[in-house]
Structure 1
Amino acid sequence: MDIAALAAEVRAAATRANHRRLVVLAGDRDACIDAAFDVLDGADVPDDETTIVTAREGFRFERLHPKRAGELLGSTRTAVVCDAHEEFSPNVVGRLVGAVDGGGLFVLLTPPLDEWPARTGSFDESLAVPPFSVSDVTGRFRERLVSTLRDHPGVAIANVDEGVVERDGSAPSPPDVGDRSPSVPRERERRFPRLAYESCLTGDQSRTLRSLERLADPGEAVVVEADRGRGKSAAAGLAAASLAAEGRDVLVTAPSYRSAEEVFVRAETLLSDLGALADSAERTSAGRQTQSGDHDEERHVLRANAEAGAEGGRVRFSDPPTAATLPDDPDAVLVDEAAALPVRLLSSFLDAPAAGFFTTVHGYEGAGRGFSVRFRDRLAESDFTVTDAALDEPIRYARGDPVETWAFRALLLDARPPVDPLVEDATPETVEYRAVSPEELLADDHLLSEAFGLLVFAHYRTEPNDLARLLDAPNLELRALCHEGHVVSVALLAREGGLDAETRRAMYEGARVRGNMLPDVFTSQLRDEEAGVPVGYRVMRIATHHAVRSRGLGSRLLTAVRREFAGRADYLGVGYGATPELLSFWAANGYSTVHLSTTRNDTSGEYSALMLLPLSEAGEALRDRHASYFIDRIVAVLSDPLRDVEPDVARAALRACEADVSPSLSDREWRVVVGASYGPGIYSAAPEAFRRLALAHLLSPDRVELDAREERLLVRKVLQGRPWTPVSEELGYVSQGQCMRALGDAYKPLVDEYGPESAREERARFTD
């Protein structure tokens, strides 16, 4: 077997087609690494255009540890070598495969392919969450991966142990798609500089830039969708620079600065070429690698000189939660990798004067589809005039690239639910409840794609690792509703708890225990060492097909799950970014609030809610214990770390808590409350009494009829202790005095409902 000759032939074919090729070197690790050098030499790949991703050290070309594979996102290499013998994970492949340029090679070093599915590594150890061990983890993902390697076009396989070439890597010729070169609109038809259009690389890119000109005007939104490698970030950068050159303030956001780095590279280049880049362009530490390998998220700013615009524009970066507040009132917001952000956070940008949303349709960065389904509905209902643009033409390689299609297939980057007509007649009465096993998923690609496609839609960020977890993790179970054989609703459940005393003790003393989110929070944060004893199933994700939402299918699925697990678990649980709608949904399905996190999620900007549904006496004891803890601390928490939580979130979280509080007020405190509601008294004389009474009402709002604004007033002023003036303005009272009177009026029915005889006697002094 002549590896060098094989590599030369494979690269020559790749160069002719302007495609990539995948070369698999299977066998002993040392032999695979030696063969990789032969491949690179035979393919004539320069060392400075090569990166190897491996845990080993000592190579003549760039080497990255697998944990740093993400650093290649957005970059291009002629060859990338991935050592799958150690520290291998699906995410590593997803991060690396897109970094190979047209005519280049993705070289995968693997154990012997027949043996690889049974080989365990560090990723398998991460799936062995307590109480499971690595022996409980299966190799179904690798079994499926090997199958795709053996039958996909453009994949060459060499067995280095036996010296045999099993596949030569041949692939069909690329389709003839005609001339797709960029064009420059005539001067009177364009707003952006000619140089911006001349910087485009494809006709798609120039047409997209033409659409992005709309962002110069308020009330406009542009959505740019593309697969990876189509130049959407570059188009965003050209648009940002063009707007800044006009004097516009452009705010850029993305899941991390690194994700948006290409935007700034293109913007800086164009501003410089236009002679509009100010000498004082501010470059902070954003994106600069630290010793830990992390990246600072500080703001990065490019400034256009004043001559280029009325006041001189700028392009600046903020992380998503900060950007959602629209700091310093930008003229336009550009959201890169929008599919990786949750819908609620994306919705904040609908308040911007103009907004551009750039999203990867498929690929490692864009697996989350909440954007394309749920957010697009909100965008359509907004005040924006929406323009759509799509980038189909690859920039770094030609259409029909076999490595791209292999990655989509192997990692299910293009997984999607069934098409609408197949499920649009589904109702709770027509569906069948199924326990879908990993074996069934492995045997049926159609079922796997539909189920995983729905899970992708359920979350703003789904990674290739999640596919392997679905197939191999021993703590996960999948349940589905099917309509005429097609998946319409899915729930992914994670077994938690049932932990031994040693594990519980370690968790209590600060150790992190993988895969046990609810017991971990209850034990480490809320100091309940026995919380890990009951066995529970946490609903990690639940999703219903967008064509049949609001028909009760999600509730139908949860009801079936509840019935099935009643005999085998102590509780069902859930943790998620809290919104009023989600809190109400879970409460309607029997789940009750036991915790609100005291910090916002960095990506979603939301506080997390934890809820439990008991299935046994042990589960009920756990729920009651933590509901009681929650009520004991919530007033203090709302006035300190949760002082900025939205009133409707607090209202819904309290309403969903299975706890009944009878307000305990002294006779003097009741006189203060009655005086402030029916007489001349004031709230500030005894705020704690008002808090206890407000809490009692919000836990049992059906006992007394207050409208939503009155309840928001109880949260903002009484429980969170906000000043009168901002509370008055936020809730729409015409003056502070009116707001104060409204608070007194809100307490009148509470006095009537909860007040003892002494309170009623005090009330009579002002009403008789």
Structure 2
Amino acid sequence: MTTELQQLHQQLKLCGFRLPLLVTGEETQVNQLANELLISIQTHQNLNSILAVNSLTSFTPQANTTRISSNKFRHYLGHEFDCVLINGWQGFHVDAFAALSGTVKAGGLFILLMPELVSTSESELSAHKKGWDSFADPDRQRFLQWGVNSQDFKSNFLTFAQKYLLQSFIQIISQTTPILGNNHQQQVSIPERFKLGIPSLKSNFQLPGSITADQQNIIEQIHDSIAQDTGNNQQHFIIAANRGRGKSATLGMLAAQLVRKCKSHKPLTVGVTAPRMDCANQIQTWFQQKHPSEHELSFYALDVLAINKPQLDVLLVDEAAAIPVELLQQLTRQYKHVVFATTEHGYEGCGRGFTIRFKKWLARHFTQQSFRLINPIRWSPNDPLEECVNQLLLLDAEPAPSLKALSMSANSITTAWFSQQDMLQQTDLLRQAFGLLVQAHYRTTPSDLRYMLDCPTMRTVLMKSGNQVVGVALISLEGDLPSDLAQQVARGQRRPNGHLFAQTIAAQTGFYEFATLKGWRIVRIAIHPDMQHRGLGSQLLAFIDTACQQEKQDYLSTSFGLTLPLLKFWQKNQFSLVRLGQTPEASTGEYSAAMLRCISVTSDNYIAELRPIQLLDVQQQLTHRYVNLSLELKTALGKILANSAKMTMTTSRASQLAENFAQYHATLASCRLAIVKLINDQQCQQHFPLLTLATDPTIDHDQLILQFRLSGKKQLIRKLRSLTGELLNQIRPKN
């Protein structure tokens, strides 16, 4: 480490900032250079914990190092490290990049290893060098559908990223000098913001050893509300914050105060839960600091709370956004007082389901109070790493400001495609559009930004009034799979990347032919809150539908968490329900609804056959599998079912679907009605009692396992596949 860089690091540490480092060069060189760098730092600063993501085995600093692959990043939310190193040579995973940046302590290092970075002007002068847009990023495969040639891939996202990383990361360039053979040179490039801003900063940052004023205020309000509550009314609380604001510490100190001082001088029983036990480490630390004892705060796994229902006066829930909404709702009903702590940015396991869905539900059904921790306590305000990550991944993106005064004349609203090149050149519109998507959709994560910029089969439509984004839609071009691949999908043998709607219909209905059709899937659609209920959503859909027809597609599709307003919206725009998911989605507790609008005669013919089968399945399970749907939704589904054509399934089609289950890997749910038809046609219920019972939607499979003395669900499915094969043999003509 150069003297200049050492001095800068010490200054940043004294200021309470994290040091963002970008180390560029060949992969083996940058890993070795990062290794030497950390060993050098060890001489004047203790690095007690390092998290190395996708690092090479040659990366062996003399410190406590935890090695993980990038897809394991969620396991380390709520942890703290002196250094996080991400080897981007093995994949620039944007969600891991966003989440793990929040685990670095004040004075710590965040190191990104990447290929050599060159600016546009340098590229023009040095034709032999390549920018990141041509880097064969291993993580790019997540954004490429089956059928796309990855050799032609150029990353617009990495081009987008260069700007912010050059502005905010200190760059260490490892170069091999041809004149000197294999000798390596290092060049350090420090952005202007560090040269101009750091010397004038106050160097007095200290991690708070005790409670801050904001934390004290929240703790007192929640404690007083619980202590003064002598009735039976439930009251719940939400603490929201960006990372580094001390929400876990607040929960720990709140627990200590509730245990010490409580109503009627009787100790309150307080428990804590989180997606994983290690996520609660910070809560336990602060609890022990404020309430020294031999006993820790009781931690309960989520499944233990749901099944055993232990008695608690207060339940503390950390990392609430990573917990399925349905489970959060159960815990809310189960306990009198629940305190939820959640990170506001949407890269946790279940996205923004907490913010968008759960908070609204909670406000409708219970008395609740919400609090926010604004100022960071684990690092200083204006931390360069946090600012860069927020800007780069649009984590701070917001929709356009209030649009209530906008004219609604036809000439004031324009709708047009927003290409990936447009996004690079018009970043303000991109920021508005992404902010609108984040606000409207619980699943929007940093990966969605990369999908928008990089996926060759993703298109974006913007609805604007002047320079303000009124609406946005994301469209995925899907289907057109070869017949043999489509059959493998229907049989459960293959699951190629992308083509989600086409594959879902093929795999869950058995109609492989559908995946051979070409269609567009509307991935996201959002209208600015100030402009809703004015027909703009339907206007945006009409633009998409016209383009879909012009490009000779077979259908236009969508899938979403089933709610009555959304069902009515899509019905109003002539979309038909073709499938309802078998289990609630983890992130919302809602069933996935698949709807489409046929464009070609071919798609109309396929849907005319498969839709009645799927709707009959829904009808038969409406009072069992879908028993928890609201009365309004059941009524709306009832109307759809009443107007549906009668199911007609040929023996040939039923045999094909049953064979997918018997001989391959199709699910029982996708073939259930086909098996029922074959059994009824042959009148052989008495010969296949287990198969007959297992295809009855009113009978619990756990009961069948006990009744037929099976070892578990795996043996049950194996037995059912074998019995279905016997049934088919009985039907086939004898030679």
**Smaller-chain TM-score range?**
0.7 to 0.9
> Offset of 1:263 from its aligned partner?
6.5
Name the stretch that deviates more: 129-138 or 12-21: 129-138
1:425 matched residue in structure 2: 406
> Offset of 1:144 from its aligned partner?
1.0
2:112 matched residue in structure 1: 108
2:668 matched residue in structure 1: none
> Offset of 1:583 from its aligned partner?
1.4
1:126 matched residue in structure 2: 142
Distance 2:614 2:391 in 1: 46
1:577 matched residue in structure 2: 561
8 Å CA contact 1:215–1:221 kept in 2: the answer is no
2:573 matched residue in structure 1: 589
1:150 matched residue in structure 2: 166
2:21 matched residue in structure 1: 23
> Offset of 1:588 from its aligned partner?
1.5
8 Å CA contact 1:584–1:656 kept in 2: the answer is no
8 Å CA contact 2:325–2:589 kept in 1: the answer is no
1:451 matched residue in structure 2: 433
1:363–1:533 Cα change, 3 Å = closer
Amino acid at match of 1:92: A
2:220 matched residue in structure 1: 210
Deviations 1:344-394 (A, max 9, x none): 87677775644434332347449955655676666555552x544322232
8 Å CA contact 2:24–2:171 kept in 1: the answer is no
8 Å CA contact 1:504–1:532 kept in 2: the answer is yes
**Which of 600, 618, 621 is the matching residue for 2:602?**
618
**Which of 165, 172, 193 is the matching residue for 2:187?**
165
After superposition, where does 1:606-755 map in structure 2 within 5 Å? 606-638=590-622, 640-656=624-640, 659-661=643-645
Distance 2:354 2:241 in 1: 13
8 Å CA contact 1:180–1:202 kept in 2: the answer is no
Amino acid at match of 1:32: V
8 Å CA contact 2:79–2:279 kept in 1: the answer is no
Distance 1:225 1:516 in 2: 36
8 Å CA contact 1:215–1:355 kept in 2: the answer is no
Distance 2:139 2:574 in 1: 36
8 Å CA contact 1:35–1:160 kept in 2: the answer is no
Amino acid at match of 2:406: D
Distance 2:100 2:583 in 1: 33
> Offset of 1:433 from its aligned partner?
1.1
Name the stretch that deviates more: 166-175 or 391-400: 166-175
After superposition, where does 1:154-303 map in structure 2 within 5 Å? 155-161=170-176, 163-168=185-190, 170=194, 172-173=197-198, 200-213=210-223, 214-216=225-227, 217=229, 218=233, 220-243=235-258, 246=262, 247-248=267-268, 256-257=275-276, 260-262=279-281, 265-266=284-285, 269=288, 273=292, 286=301, 298-299=303-304
1:51–1:252 Cα change, 3 Å = closer
8 Å CA contact 1:128–1:136 kept in 2: the answer is no
SS at match of 1:85: helix
Amino acid at match of 1:140: N
After superposition, where does 1:370-449 map in structure 2 within 5 Å? 384=367, 386-420=368-402, 422=403, 424-425=405-406, 427=408, 429=410, 430-449=412-431
Amino acid at match of 1:8: Q
Distance 2:354 2:487 in 1: 42
8 Å CA contact 2:579–2:615 kept in 1: the answer is no
1:596–1:249 Cα change, 3 Å = farther
Distance 2:697 2:563 in 1: 18
Are 1:97 and 2:107 an aligned pair? no
Amino acid at match of 2:633: V
> Offset of 1:528 from its aligned partner?
0.9
Deviations 1:33-65 (A, max 9, x none): 111122213323545422322252254352222
Name the stretch that deviates more: 117-126 or 199-208: 199-208
Amino acid at match of 2:25: G
SS at match of 1:587: helix
Deviations 1:649-689 (A, max 9, x none): 3332343469534799xxxxxxxxxxxxxxxxxxxxxxxxx
SS at match of 1:490: strand
SS at match of 1:273: coil
SS at match of 1:542: strand
1:138 matched residue in structure 2: 154
Deviations 1:486-505 (A, max 9, x none): 11211111122111123213
Distance 1:520 1:21 in 2: 45
8 Å CA contact 1:534–1:570 kept in 2: the answer is yes
1:658–1:539 Cα change, 3 Å = farther
Amino acid at match of 1:416: E
Amino acid at match of 2:155: G
Are 1:531 and 2:514 an aligned pair? yes
SS at match of 1:165: strand
SS at match of 2:90: coil
> Offset of 1:405 from its aligned partner?
0.3
1:488 matched residue in structure 2: 470
User: Share of identical aligned residues, percent?
Assistant: 27
Amino acid at match of 2:101: V
Distance 1:367 1:447 in 2: 27
Deviations 1:281-340 (A, max 9, x none): 6x67x4xxxxxxxxxx543xxxxxxxxxxxxxxxxx55xxx8xxx956864454544556
1:38–1:337 Cα change, 3 Å = same
Amino acid at match of 2:54: T
1:125–1:636 Cα change, 3 Å = same
Distance 2:154 2:205 in 1: 48
Deviations 1:443-487 (A, max 9, x none): 122111111111112222322221111100112111121122211
Distance 1:46 1:505 in 2: 58
1:244–1:508 Cα change, 3 Å = farther
Distance 2:537 2:221 in 1: 38
1:168–1:624 Cα change, 3 Å = same
Amino acid at match of 1:50: I
Distance 2:599 2:459 in 1: 18
Distance 1:658 1:128 in 2: 41
8 Å CA contact 1:175–1:400 kept in 2: the answer is no
Distance 1:342 1:449 in 2: 28
8 Å CA contact 1:157–1:165 kept in 2: the answer is yes
SS at match of 2:584: coil
1:407–1:527 Cα change, 3 Å = same
8 Å CA contact 1:494–1:540 kept in 2: the answer is yes
Distance 2:381 2:303 in 1: 38
> Offset of 1:440 from its aligned partner?
0.8
2:133 matched residue in structure 1: 117
> Offset of 1:611 from its aligned partner?
0.8
Q: Would you say how many aligned residue pairs link Structure 1 and Structure 2?
A: 609
Distance 2:286 2:435 in 1: 35
1:403–1:249 Cα change, 3 Å = same
2:503 matched residue in structure 1: 520
Distance 2:113 2:646 in 1: 66
2:652 matched residue in structure 1: none
1:496–1:611 Cα change, 3 Å = same
8 Å CA contact 2:284–2:296 kept in 1: the answer is no
2:34 matched residue in structure 1: 36
1:146–1:161 Cα change, 3 Å = farther
8 Å CA contact 1:225–1:389 kept in 2: the answer is yes
8 Å CA contact 2:16–2:205 kept in 1: the answer is no
Runs (5+) with no aligned partner, structure 1: 183-198, 287-296, 300-316, 665-718, 723-768
1:144–1:251 Cα change, 3 Å = same
SS at match of 2:550: coil
8 Å CA contact 1:339–1:369 kept in 2: the answer is yes
Amino acid at match of 1:232: K
Q: TM-score, normalised by structure 1?
A: 0.72
RMSD of aligned Cα (Å): 3.5
